Amino acid sequence: MQIFEKAPAKINLSLDVLHKREDGFHEVEMVMTTVDLADRIELNTLKDGSIRVESESRFVPNDERNLAYRAAKLMKDHYSVKQGVRIFIEKNIPVAAGLAGGSSDAAAVLRGVNRLWGLNKSLDELAVLGAEIGSDVSFCLYGGTAHATGRGEKVTPLPAPPPCWVVLAKPPLGVSTQTVYQNLNLADAHHPNTNAMIEALMNYDFDAICAQVGNTLEGVTLNLHREVGQIKEQMRQAGADAVLMSGSGPTVFSLVDTDARAQRIYNSLKGFCTEVYVVRMLGYQERT
């Protein structure tokens, strides 16, 4: 049997870090939405019970370092499944980019093996397991637009933003999320107004959404990697309606309401940034 799943990237319209918890994780409050840049996951049953991860990308590990592998193993162990699975990942989302590519792959595998192995578990049940793999996996299971709290695993759906263009640009560097959090000083950090962002989405107000974008982690990454700030400034000068770093970075996105300006921003970035994408906002829950 063969199953296909789509694993879309996400961007953070708003990311606030509230405090460090007793368990060592940080309490966060985020508004996230999916964009039309996606990995494609192919799943095939293996009768020998093994888990195999394959990809044409040399950046994709084929063992437990890969969240997709861990998702399959967690499902197999938790539900005592004897069958195995071959996971082929067509990698389109940049790696270590702040776009939840690995988490989205894991979520796609959870959904996919749920069908492949005939487990018939609900998304809510899968989301509980997903939280064991990573903070963004629960959101990626549902997709769409949502308010996420806790470590990111408590997900409340929100209305989709108005349709717009999203220009994504990833500089040629990787950012360690752990390093960013270690360098975060919450007393001096910018804290976005999450409630105002939610209200803007409720009102389907593109201008208000653009006015409320914010990311508490952005200042840390800007201090560590000046290239991120250069991309932000380039996007602003080229006419973006809003510019923000996604997650812990280093990818920067701009929101634009016209195709012409999106292409202008794209062209302005191609000179010094090789990974640039012009995509549409998805924002709604999508299933393959």
Known active-site residue 124: no
Among candidates 149, 123, 147, which has minimal Cα distance to 135? Answer: 149
**CA dihedral of residues 35, 40, 44, 48 (deg, nearest 10):** -90
Among candidates 167, 166, 173, which has minimal Cα distance to 267? Answer: 167
Element (H, E) at 44: strand 26-46
CA dist 209 and 244 (Å) reads 12
Residue 279, classed as helix, strand or coil, is strand
Per the DSSP assignment, residues forming a β-bridge with 40 are: 6, 90
In the set 10, 121, 170, 232, the catalytic residue is 10
Known active-site residue 91: no
Among candidates 148, 145, 147, which has minimal Cα distance to 160? Answer: 145
- The label of the residue with tokens 């994504």 reads 168
In the set 136, 170, 232, 241, the catalytic residue is 136
CA dist 185 and 77 (Å) reads 39
> Which two tokens mark 254?
């701009």
CA dist 17 and 221 (Å) reads 14
CA dist 275 and 41 (Å) reads 21
Q: Please identify every residue annotated as catalytic.
A: 10, 136
